[in-house]
Amino acid sequence: MKIVLNGEPRNVRAETLSDLLEECGYSGAVATAVNEAFVASNLRIAHKLTDGDRVEVVAPMQGG
């Protein structure tokens, strides 16, 4: 399916948001949104993706 991940068009096999994070190599604490709506970490496994979805994944930055 075709989605937009962090502003970049991607072809992915993932069917859920959780699967997408694994497929794209994201691990640890990240924040996620699909079509500008926040998706909590405990809901990612049930959040089905559809063709054309816009997904944002943001990892926290450390530093000072």
The CATH number covering residue 38 comes to 3.10.20.30
Which one-letter amino acid corresponds to residue 60? P
> Is the pTM of the predicted complex or chain greater than 0.85?
yes
pLDDT above 70 for 1:
yes
Token digits for 1?
């399916």
DSSP 15: S
Burial class (CB in 10 A: 0-12, 13-18, 19+), 44: middle
Tell me if 63 is assigned to some domain. Answer: no
Tell me if 64 is assigned to some domain. Answer: no
Tell me if 24 is assigned to some domain. Answer: yes
Whether 45 and 16 have beta carbons less than 8 Å apart is answered as yes
Residues 6 or more apart from 50 whose CB is under 8 A from it?
Answer: 1
Domain that holds residue 43: 2-58
pLDDT for 27: 83
Q: What is the mean pLDDT of the chain?
A: 95
pLDDT tens, position by position, 20-61: 999 999 987 999 999 999 999 999 999 999 999 999 999 887
Provide the number of structural domains found in the chain: 1
